[in-house]
Structure 1
Amino acid sequence: MPNANNWQGDVLRDLRGTPPPQHARSHGPAQEQHPAQQQQQPQRQEPVGAGAQPPTRNSAASPGPAAPPPRTHRPARSPDSRPVVDSALTGTARRPQRGESAAARIARAVRRIVSSSTAREVAELTRTAEQIQQPVTTGRQIAVTSIRGGAGKTTVAALLGTAYAHYRHDPVLLVEADPALGSLPLRLGAESLRWTTADLADIVEPQMSLLDVTGYLVQLPDNAWLLPGSQGRIGAMLDTTAYERVMVALRRYFGVTVVDCETLPAEVARVALSAAQARVLAVPATLDGITSTYAVLQWMQGLPRHMIAGTVVALTSTTPRPGIDVEASAEKLRSTGAAVHVLPHDRHLAAGGELRTELLARPTRLAAARLAAEVFQLSQKRR
């Protein structure tokens, strides 16, 4: 096992391709295929999402109509479906509230009427949509992580996946690589879970069609799918081998894949970061969050240039009145070479639970679209 106190060095070795120490566990990026996998690939592959029509809404519990041939390492039996929220807890949630108050919405509407900002806003949103909708020749993988828990990592991953699914026409996948007690299925409104990332690692094969693959996934609105990390059980594990196998196999089916990673320095998170074409670091708008993130970004300046150039900091305001100057803090983080986007405080996001885009405050929707556009543009620069 790598030394948890020296995870930066482990990532550095991964990125530079230098062999790890003998006591360290070797792991390569999920982006590259092993020779055995390359031999299994069909001679002709369809472009990502080309001619693939999304299947009708199926339950996540039932596989696609064309069942893949049996393999010796397939699970002996299929897992049972489990609800995302226990029935005893479903009645405890309050009615979700809008991202901003009625007074704030009225004041914003008045300002838009008496000013010329509406036309500029529409033009900016059009440009943002055009950037997100650019075609891809190979599926883009975007990893979202954080330095500590409670930074809004899963919320940022859900916002990104929702934005890509809304604007893009090819299939979008959200992968939960935080299997312990990840909340991505809850954030995305999934009702039940069955197949997990570890399960699919033993099932997916190169000859499977998009319809076959999506039969094992949870279908979401707007041509998006979810691959959970666990069924909510404590002790669920995901090793780097299973993660790499799944990400390599699924890459050709989806135009964009957003990975909700564990917090650093978890082993799978390090592999996901090194293999992704772009990375998002979720950071709370607090003094300790800014301080620790600035130190990490300074360390990243010593890595190959593409590492920090392909990293975007999502600075999330957890309270209506943060205890720091958010804009000044963002400029300090930008001085390291990383891009920084500020996600304003939103009452709907702060309450947790299912993310409903129609309840988000307008500034939050615009900020999330800008973040999604820049992350996607950075992922296009790394082939």
Structure 2
Amino acid sequence: MRLVPFGDPPLLRAWHTVSRMFASTRATRELADLAAEVQAPVHTGRRIAVTSVQGGAGKSTVAALLASVFAARRADAVLAADADPYEGSLTWRLGAPSQPSLERLAPELIAARGGDLRALESLLPRTGTGLWLLPSGAANPDLCTEVTRALSRLFAVAVTDCRSTLESRETAAAAADAHTVVLCTAATPDGVRATYRTLRRIIDTGYAAWLSRVVVVLSAGSRDGRAALSNDATRSLIEQTGVPVVTLPYDRHLAGGALITPSRIGEKTLVEATRAAAIILARARRL
């Protein structure tokens, strides 16, 4: 299997290594501050739904990245759930071995909700960072939401990669159940415009209060993904709706579309992903 490259090129990785030998960099200090926010305690399990307005927004990549950040930074249990009815890419990108489908596992998982995590050890796989994985595969489109809700007392954070776009019935139900909704957007003019129009439509139809639970994550899926965007103009446009925006830079490792290895993610990407996780958790903790 071809090894997916590091997010940062060799010279930049070498520079980061040398810099840290003599002093902490601005990025490392900022990362430490953001990590402290990601570690904030929660009184009950927080459910996070990751969706998009259009296809090709990097939804599964963002879900995997956020779940990995939470798992790496928190001492308590974190779950990544794949709501795809067939064979979703989330658990595969996180390195899960072949598992029974959610359809088969659901009865045992729901029955185990009154116990502790030991009851789940034979049912759910885990990554090297301790992230628990809930596989895809259920004819009932609401089953993933039912299972994650049932297991909420066992997991401090559950990140669900929703099966389709925000305006589908299944995703709308998952979003209604979530404490925070992450709206993934391709970092292109078309992606930004489509997301802004969706947010305006929500406001214009009388549901503006719902946006207090939304965070927009712009994802640059190619080297030229942000070339036509003005960061300030994009942020200003979307933040008119009261929704915060975080931009993930282009990352060679994530763009490879293969297994995500946290140690290979670029430094800037890691900082921005941790920033997004901190904002997402802060919104979730309000409820």
Deviation for aligned residue 1:198: 2.6
Root-mean-square deviation (Å): 2.2
Query: Per-residue CA shift, 1:2-58, capped at 9, x if unaligned?
Result: xxxxxxxxxxxxxxxxxxxxxxxxxxxxxxxxxxxxxxxxxxxxxxxxxxxxxxxxx
Aligned residue in 1 for 2:228? 324
Aligned residue in 2 for 1:48? none
Aligned residue in 2 for 1:373? 278
Correspondences of 1:90-101 after superposition (within 5 Å): 93-101=1-9
| Residue 112 of structure 2 is aligned to residue 212 of structure 1 | no
Give the one of 158, 166, 172 matched to 2:72. Answer: 166
Cα 1:210/1:106, change in 2 over 3 Å: closer
Give the one of 211, 227, 232 matched to 1:308. Answer: 211
User: Which secondary structure does the structure 2 equivalent of 1:220 belong to?
Assistant: coil
The structure with the largest alpha-carbon Rg is: 1
Q: Distance in 2 between matches of 1:329 and 1:180?
A: 35
Q: Distance in 2 between matches of 1:156 and 1:250?
A: 22
Contact 2:19–2:25 (CA under 8 A) maintained in structure 1: no
Give the one of 41, 54, 60 matched to 1:135. Answer: 41
Deviation for aligned residue 1:106: 4.4
List alignment gaps of at least 5 residues for structure 1: 1-92, 231-235
TM-score (normalised: structure 2): 0.90
Give the one of 105, 120, 129 matched to 1:200. Answer: 105
Contact 2:49–2:178 (CA under 8 A) maintained in structure 1: yes
Aligned residue in 2 for 1:273? 175
Contact 1:177–1:238 (CA under 8 A) maintained in structure 2: no
Query: Per-residue CA shift, 1:241-267, capped at 9, x if unaligned?
Result: x33431231111100000000222332
Contact 1:309–1:338 (CA under 8 A) maintained in structure 2: yes
Contact 2:78–2:156 (CA under 8 A) maintained in structure 1: yes
Deviation for aligned residue 1:111: 7.6
Aligned residue in 2 for 1:257? 158
Cα 1:107/1:332, change in 2 over 3 Å: farther
Give the one of 248, 254, 269 matched to 2:149. Answer: 248
Aligned residue in 2 for 1:286? 188
Contact 1:238–1:268 (CA under 8 A) maintained in structure 2: no
Aligned residues: 281
Give the one of 253, 259, 265 matched to 1:354. Answer: 259
Query: Per-residue CA shift, 1:163-201, capped at 9, x if unaligned?
Result: 11011011111111122341001210112212x333333
The one-letter code sitting in structure 2 at the alignment partner of 1:283 is: T
Deviates more, 1:263-272 or 1:278-287: 263-272
The one-letter code sitting in structure 1 at the alignment partner of 2:268 is: P
Deviation for aligned residue 1:305: 4.3
Q: Distance in 2 between matches of 1:207 and 1:364?
A: 38
Q: Distance in 1 between matches of 2:115 and 2:8?
A: 45
Higher helix share: 2
| Residue 131 of structure 2 is aligned to residue 224 of structure 1 | yes
Cα 1:243/1:358, change in 2 over 3 Å: closer
The one-letter code sitting in structure 2 at the alignment partner of 1:144 is: V
User: Which secondary structure does the structure 2 equivalent of 1:121 belong to?
Assistant: helix
Cα 1:298/1:96, change in 2 over 3 Å: same
Cα 1:226/1:109, change in 2 over 3 Å: closer
The one-letter code sitting in structure 2 at the alignment partner of 1:289 is: G
Deviation for aligned residue 1:141: 0.2
Deviates more, 1:341-350 or 1:305-314: 305-314
Q: Distance in 2 between matches of 1:339 and 1:294?
A: 12
Cα 1:164/1:101, change in 2 over 3 Å: same
Deviation for aligned residue 1:295: 0.4
Aligned residue in 2 for 1:6? none
Q: Distance in 1 between matches of 2:229 and 2:30?
A: 26
Deviates more, 1:214-223 or 1:99-108: 99-108
Deviates more, 1:330-339 or 1:242-251: 242-251
Cα 1:216/1:244, change in 2 over 3 Å: same
Deviation for aligned residue 1:358: 1.0
Q: Distance in 1 between matches of 2:69 and 2:171?
A: 23
TM-score (normalised: structure 1): 0.68
Q: Distance in 2 between matches of 1:283 and 1:222?
A: 27
Query: Per-residue CA shift, 1:200-230, capped at 9, x if unaligned?
Result: 3322224333211332111222332101112
Q: Distance in 2 between matches of 1:366 and 1:337?
A: 23
| Residue 5 of structure 2 is aligned to residue 104 of structure 1 | no
Q: Distance in 2 between matches of 1:286 and 1:337?
A: 20
